[in-house]
């Protein structure tokens, strides 16, 4: 374990030296803010692996479960306690980096969120993670006993309705725990939006604004929810800090997501990917467990003591497929950009809007390819601006030809 920690320490030094001094950052800001964001992300990336590998290598999970079994014989309670300890450990090892990022965002002026509110939100995240992890571990262990060969498939079939239900209730029950949502205020912008949605045959669209100005100074908008709970949400910072023509292009982009049912496509894609991951996890876990069986006191594959092996397998696989997820997300965003371009007459404000967003968020407008693979769910600002410029030139050429 000491060797693993030494390797991580060296990795940490290399990450921060590279991103602080050598990363080819392109930004409208004069600071190293975006490069530091990359550094924090890659610093935290192996932490879960280290925690789980440490429990396996030092047989810490065996010790923990032995102590838990002295407190209770109920498998559900043992799972809840074990999951709680895992989540606490996960939160603690990530906390220093989260705290560093909290301070960086305040120094750079992109965040104004009070420390107590930030701490509360992070605790809420860990609470939900604990609930989900406890249920996932308990159900998986039950299925391993009853469906030894195809437990992963049964688990996936159970996940389907649960995932859809969570996505359905998220805008109404979960999101309001973090932010305050209200209907978009009446005024020229609301009128322009309603005229636009009516012109494309989109009626009764749920348009909301969310109070983010108490936390951040950056701009954003998004589409969330499915079926009757689908809605388009604009940050109040966006409404207050951008021009109406700029906002209308952003809105057209979000409506593109809405009318092309990208939320549904995204959910379907993730569910299909999860099916493959469940199968691969079960395949790898069985072989790894067999290798550890004779070296430890693991009684069976569903032994709570062996859960860190299962979680480590899942965590590594999720990281491996991350570039696939970001690629699919970028294609969806490109599709929404296309919709916005097709439904916008004057594209110059869109360029100004992207530039304004990049300056305000101090973002990396052209990440290097491997950072893009791991982190970029959207096309880079540079790519989006270049696409708009080409479209403007194309329209000007066509107008000149026609005249």
Three-state SS string across 20-78, please?
HHHCCCCCCCCCCHHHHHHHHHHHHCCHHHHHHHHHHHCCHHHHHHHHHHCCCCCHHHH
Provide the CB-side half-sphere exposure for 242 (13 A, CA): 32
Cα separation of 363 and 350, whole Å? 17
**E strand intervals along 105-243:** 181-183, 207-210, 221-224, 231-235
Give the Å distances, CA to CA, from 159 to 13, 23, 306, 314, 398.
40, 40, 22, 15, 51
Give the Å distances, CA to CA, from 314 to 28, 68, 88, 282.
38, 24, 19, 9
Confirm if 62 and 305 have CB atoms less than 8 A apart: yes
Cα separation of 38 and 104, whole Å? 12
Catalytic residue among 48, 108, 246, 254: 254
Confirm if 133 and 239 have CB atoms less than 8 A apart: no
Respond yes or no: is residue 254 known to be catalytic. Answer: yes
Bridge-partner residues for 233, per DSSP?
A: 208, 222
Q: Cite the active site residues.
A: 254
């Amino acid at each position: 374990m000491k060797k693993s920690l030494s390797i991580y320490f060296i990795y940490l030094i290399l990450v921060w030296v590279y991103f602080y001094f050598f990363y080819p950052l392109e930004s409208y800001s004069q600071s190293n803010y975006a490069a530091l964001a990359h550094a924090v992300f890659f610093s935290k990336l192996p932490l879960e692996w280290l925690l789980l590998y440490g429990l396996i290598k030092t047989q810490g999970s065996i010790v923990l479960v032995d102590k838990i079994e002295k407190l209770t014989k109920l498998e559900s309670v043992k799972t809840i306690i074990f999951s709680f300890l895992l989540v606490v450990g996960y939160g603690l090892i990530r906390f220093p980096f989260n705290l560093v990022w909290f301070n960086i965002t305040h120094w750079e002026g992109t965040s104004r969120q009070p420390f107590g509110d930030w701490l509360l939100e992070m605790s809420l995240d860990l609470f939900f993670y604990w609930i989900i992890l406890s249920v996932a571990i308990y159900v998986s262990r039950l299925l391993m006993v009853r469906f030894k060969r195809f437990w992963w498939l049964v688990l996936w079939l159970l996940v389907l309705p649960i995932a859809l239900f969570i996505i359905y209730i998220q805008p109404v029950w979960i999101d309001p725990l973090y932010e305050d949502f209200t209907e978009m205020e009446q005024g020229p912008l609301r009128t322009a939006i309603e005229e636009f949605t009516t012109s494309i045959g989109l009626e009764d669209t749920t348009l909301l604004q969310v109070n983010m100005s108490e936390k951040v100074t950056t701009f954003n908008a998004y589409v969330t929810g499915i079926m009757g709970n689908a809605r388009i949400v604009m940050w109040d910072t966006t409404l207050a800090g951008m021009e109406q023509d700029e906002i209308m292009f952003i809105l057209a982009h979000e409506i593109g997501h809405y009318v092309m049912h990208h939320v549904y496509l995204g959910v379907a894609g993730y569910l299909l990917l999860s099916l493959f991951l469940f199968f691969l996890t079960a395949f790898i876990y069985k072989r790894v467990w067999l290798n550890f069986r004779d070296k430890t006191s693991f009684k069976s594959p569903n032994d709570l003591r062996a859960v860190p092996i299962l979680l480590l397998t899942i965590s590594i696989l999720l990281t491996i497929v991350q570039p696939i997820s970001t690629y699919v997300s970028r294609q969806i965003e490109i599709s929404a950009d296309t919709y916005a371009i097709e439904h916008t007459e004057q594209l110059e404000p869109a360029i100004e809007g992207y530039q304004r967003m990049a300056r305000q968020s101090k973002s990396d407008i052209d990440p290097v390819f491997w950072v893009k693979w791991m982190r970029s769910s959207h096309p880079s600002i540079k790519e989006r601006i270049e696409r708009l410029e080409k479209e403007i030139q194309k329209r000007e050429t066509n107008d000149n030809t026609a005249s």
